[in-house]
Chain A
C-alpha cells in the first residue's frame, strides 16, 4: 500500500537528530569562521553531546518499529541543516567499499581503518578515464607500485588512509586497467597536502595527497574495479541529495519565519493570482523541495526492496542526486533573494547555507553526469553513445 506516514519509531529518530543538529547550530558560525585557519585536529566528541547516544548508531542497532534503517537514514538527513560534525569521524566512504568488496582476510586486516575515497585528480574528476596516476605490478618483489596525485579528498586529514582508484600502466594490449588499493598515511611515499580553502562547508575538510612509489602487497589490492568502486554511489548519491534538502529545509523555514515577521504568510489554499510574488516564490521552491523529497524516498524504498549492492536502482539514485542538486542551488539562491540585504549578514546562517549548498550539485557526480546516466537509461544508450 502506498503510504507516507511516519511511524512513532521514525519520529523518535527524527527528533533525536533534530535535537543534535540544533545543538550544533550554536557553534556553526564559529566553526565556519575558523575551521580552515586552524590546523586540522583529530575530531573528538563535542562536549555539548557528552552522554548523548549517537542517533545513527542507535538506528543501526535497532530499527524496530521504523520504516527501516535505509529509509530513516534518508529522513534524518532531510530534517534540517547539519552545520557541524560533532562526533568523531566515522568510517569513511573507502571503508564502505572495503566492507562491500573486501575478502574476509582483507576485512580482518584493514577493517579497523577509517578510509577516505581517493578518486579525483587535478586532471580527472567527472572523467576518471583521464586519470594520470598509475599502479604497476613488480614481479620481483610481488608488490604493487603506486604513483600520482589525488585532490579534494574528504576528511583525509582526519582518517587513517584511503581506498584509491588508479589506472594501471598500459598492459600488452595497451589497456590501462582500473584497480583499487588500500593505502595508509604511514606508508613510505604517501604525502598529505595542505587542506583546500573553499566557498563553504568549512566544517568539512578536503585535502590532496601524492603517491611517490608507494609499495603495497597483494592483499592491499581490492577486487573492486571501476564499476564496483562506483556502485557505492548508488547508496550515497541520494543521501547527498537528502543532506542538501535538510539544509534547504532550514533555509526555507528561516525565510518563511522572517517573512512572516514582516507580515508575509504563505497561504497554500489560494490560487496564483491571489498571492504576492514572495509567496509565489516560496510555494515554487517548496514544490521543488517536495519533488526532490519524493524522489529521494522512492529510491531509498527501492534500495530497501532490492538490497544495497543491487544495481537495480542506480538510475533512480542519479535522478535523486540530480533533482536534489538542482533544489540545493535554486532554493538557497531564491531564499537569499527573498531575504534581501539583511540575509547577507553573518548574524544569520542563511548566507552560510547559500555557500554550503553549492557543492551538492558537484561532488559524487555533478548534475551533468547524473543527467547523462539518466538519459542513457531512458534512451537505451551505452557509454560511448552518449558522453
Chain B
C-alpha cells in the first residue's frame, strides 16, 4: 500500500539530524574545505551520532535504507563532504554486514569503539574510461589465497581507513575483497587535490600483488553481489545530492529576496523565480525517487533500475541546481565569501562518483 508516511522514529531521526547538521556541521564547512581535511573533533561528532556503528547488525536486521536516505539528505544539506565521510564507512560496513560470512562480520566489532573508524569501498580506478561495469583491478586465485593487483582512486579518507573493500575482477566477474590497510603491497598515496569534496582527502590506493586469504573474499565461497553494492552506493549518493541541492535552495531564497536589481528583489524576476520553483520541484522529486529505491533495497527487491534512475536524475538536476544557484548570486557566487562556489564544485564531484557510498 503506497505511503509516504515516516514512522515516528524516522521523524525524530530527521529532526535530530537536521539540527545536528545545522548547528555542528554547517559552521565548519568552509574551514574544512579550505584545509582539505576533516579534523578529529568533527569526525568524533559524526561518530557520536552512531549512524555508522548501527549498520553492523547481521543481514541488515535493524537497519533501514529509507532512514539512511533521510539521514544522508539531512547531513548533506549542511555539508556533502561530511555526509559522504559517513556514507563511505557506512557502505563498507553494510556490504560486510549484508554479504559477509560469519567470520567476516567479526571484523565489524572493530566498529564498536569510541573513535571514528574509517573504512571504504575501493571501486573507482584512475582512468578516464573507468566504468563500474569494467573493473581493471585483478584478483587471481592461487591456492588458498588471491593475489590482488590494481589501482583504486577517489577513496574517501583513504589514509585513515583500517580496511578497504576492494572491487576486482576475478574469473571474469567482479568480486570484492576485504583488505587491511597495512597488508603487504597496499600503498595509500598522498591525497590528491580535487575539485570538490576536498575535505574527504580522496586518494589513490595501489594494490601490488597483495595476498588476500580466500576467507577474505566477501561472502567467502559464494562470492558477493557487486551490483548490490553499486545500487546501494547510487542511492546513497543520490540522497547526498538531494541534500546538497536543498542546501543551495535554502541559501538562494533569502539572498534573492533581499538583493535589489533594477528596482525589485531578484526573486521577483521570473527567470530567477522559475529557477527556484524548479529547484523545489526537482529536490522533492529526487527525495521520492531516493525513498522508492531505498524502500526496494530495504524490502530486498531488485533495485538496480530505480537506483540507476534516482542516481541519474539526482546527478543531472543537482548540477543544474548548483549552476542556477551560482548564477543567481552573480559575482558573489564566484567568490568564496559565499558557499555557493563550493557547492558548485561539490555538485559536479558527487555526480560522477560511483560505488563509494552506502545507504
Contact = CB atoms under 8 A, between A and B. Distances in A.
Interface of A: 1-7, 10, 66-67, 71, 75, 267-274, 283-284, 286-288, 290-292, 294-295, 297-298, 301-302, 316, 319, 322-323, 368, 370-372, 374-375, 378-381, 385-386
Return the 4 tightest CB-CB contacts between A and B, nearest first: A294-B288, A291-B285, A374-B277, A375-B273
Contacts of A323: 281-282, 285
A269 B66 CA distance: 21
Contacts, number: 154
B337 interface: no
B288 A274 contact: no
Q: Could you tell me the dominant secondary structure of chain B's interface residues?
A: helix
B23 interface: no
A371 B270 CA distance: 9
B5 A2 contact: yes
Contacts of B277: 322, 370-372, 374-375, 378
B3 A379 contact: no
B67 to A, nearest CB: 9
Contacts of A5: 1-2, 299
Given A284-B312, A323-B281, A381-B268, A298 B276 contact: no
Interface string B149-172: 000000000000000000000000
Contacts of B6: 2
Contacts of A268: 304-305, 307-309
B281 A322 contact: yes
B295 A290 contact: no
B288 A298 contact: yes
Contact of B354 (A271, A375, A379): A271
Interface residues of B, number: 53
A178 to B, nearest CB: 25
Interface in B265-306: 267-268, 270, 273-274, 276-278, 280-282, 284-286, 288-289, 291-292, 295-296, 299, 304-306
B227 interface: yes
Given A297-B2, A301-B3, A379-B276, 13 more contacts: A6-B2, A270-B132, A271-B354, A274-B131, A283-B308, A287-B309, A291-B289, A294-B285, A323-B282, A375-B273, A375-B274, A380-B257, A385-B268
A290 B313 contact: yes
A378 B267 CA distance: 10
B273 to A, nearest CB: 4
B7 A271 contact: no
Contact of B285 (A7, A283, A292, A374): A292
A283 B312 contact: yes
B316 A287 contact: yes
Contacts of B354: 271
Contact of A291 (B270, B304, B313): B313
B222 interface: no
A385 B277 CA distance: 15
B199 to A, nearest CB: 25
A322 B304 CA distance: 27
B134 interface: yes
Nearest to B314: A287
A291 B131 contact: no
Contacts of B3: 1-3, 67, 301
Given A2-B291, A379-B253, A298 B4 contact: yes
A7 B1 contact: yes
Given A271-B133, A287-B309, A295-B285, A1 B7 contact: yes
A271 B1 contact: no
A319 B133 contact: no
A271 B281 contact: no
B230 interface: yes
Nearest to B291: A2
Contacts of B304: 268-269
Nearest to A283: B312
